[in-house]
Amino acid sequence: MSFMPVILWTDRLIFALLAGVLVLVWFIRRHEHLRAPWRLVAQRPMAMGAALVLGVFVAIGLLDSLHYRERLADSRADAPQYSVEVLSVFDALVNGLRTRQEKTYSAPLAMQLYAKEFVERDGATVRDYPRLHYGGAHLTHADAHGPDIARRALVGLAQGLAVGLLLFGLLAAWQARRTQTHMGAWLEAWATGRLGWPARTVVLVLALMLLLGGALIQLASGYHVFGTDKVGQDVLYISLKSIRTGLVIGTLTTLVTLPLAIGFGIAAGYFRGWVDDVIQYIYTVLNSIPGVLLIAAAVLIVQVAIESNPELFDTAAARADIRLLALCLILGVTSWTGLARLLRGESLKLRTLDYVEAARAFGVSHARIISRHIFPNVFHLVLIAIVLDFSGLVLAEAVLSYVGVGVDPTMYSWGNMINGARLELAREPTVWWQLGAAFVFMFTLVLAANLFADGVRDAFDPRMGTRR
Partner 1 sequence: MNPLLEVRDLVTGFGSMRVVDGVSFRVAAGETYALLGESGCGKSMTALSLMRLLPDGGRIVSGSVRLAETDVLALPERDMRRVRGGRMAMIFQEPMLALNPVVKVGAQIGEALALHRKLGGQAARDTARGLLDSVGVPDATRRLDSYPFELSGGLRQRVMIAMALAGEPQLLIADEPTTALDVTIQAQVLDVLRRLKAERQMGMLLITHDLGVVAENADRVGVMYAGELVEESARDAFFAGPQHPYSRMLFEALPRPGDGGRLTTIPGQVPPLDGSLVGCRFAPRCPHAFVRCREESPGWQAINGQRVRCHLAGQLPAQDMRDRVAHAASAHPPQPLLQVEGLKVHFPIRRGFIQRTVGHVRAVDDVAMSIQAGRTLALVGESGCGKTTVGKALLRLIEPTAGRIALGGEVITANNAATLRRQAQMVFQDPYSSLNPRMRVADILLEGMDALGVGAAGQRRDAVSQLLRQVGLPDDAGGRYPHAFSGGQRQRIAIARALAVSPRLVICDEPTSALDVSVQAQILNLLKDLQNDLGLAYLFITHNLAVVEYLAHEVAVMYLGRIVEQGAAADVLRAPRHPYTQALMSAVPRIEPHAGEGIIRLTGDQPSPLNPPAGCHFHPRCPHAQAVCRQIYPDRTGLGGGHWVRCHWVAGRHPDFSKEH
List residues binding partner 1 (CB under 8 A): 32-33, 353-355, 357-365, 368, 372-373, 376-377, 467
Q: How far is the CB of 373 from partner 1 (least distance, A)?
A: 5
Q: How far is the CB of 359 from partner 1 (least distance, A)?
A: 6
DSSP conformation letters of 74-103: TS-SSS--EEEEEEEHHHHHTHHHHH---S
Q: 1-4: list long-range contacts, CB under 8 Å, 24+ apart.
A: 1/71, 1/80, 2/70, 2/71, 3/68, 3/69, 3/70, 3/71, 3/82, 4/68, 4/69, 4/71, 4/80, 4/82
Is the CB of 128 or the CB of 357 nearer to partner 1? 357
Is the CB of 315 or the CB of 377 nearer to partner 1? 377
Is the CB of 116 or the CB of 368 nearer to partner 1? 368
Q: How far is the CB of 281 from partner 1 (least distance, A)?
A: 14
Q: How far is the CB of 27 from partner 1 (least distance, A)?
A: 13
Q: How far is the CB of 193 from partner 1 (least distance, A)?
A: 17
Is the CB of 307 or the CB of 354 nearer to partner 1? 354
Q: How far is the CB of 21 from partner 1 (least distance, A)?
A: 20
Alpha carbons 1 and 70: distance in angstroms, whole number: 9
Q: How many residues appear in the chain?
A: 468
Q: How far is the CB of 54 from partner 1 (least distance, A)?
A: 27
Task: List strands edge to edge, sheet with 67-71.
Answer: 3-6, 67-71, 82-88
Is the CB of 310 or the CB of 363 nearer to partner 1? 363
Is the CB of 429 or the CB of 462 nearer to partner 1? 462
Q: How far is the CB of 36 from partner 1 (least distance, A)?
A: 9
Distances (CA, A) of 171 to 164, 180, 193: 10, 14, 15
The residue ranges of DSSP E strands in 176-324, in sequence order, are none
Is the CB of 33 or the CB of 178 nearer to partner 1? 33
Q: Say what angle helices 414-424 and 235-271 make with each other, to 10 degrees.
A: 130
Phi (first) and psi of residue 190, to 5 degrees = -65, -45
Among 5, 4, 16, 6, CA closest to 248: 16
Cis peptide before 198 (omega within 30 of 0): no
Is the CB of 243 or the CB of 350 nearer to partner 1? 350
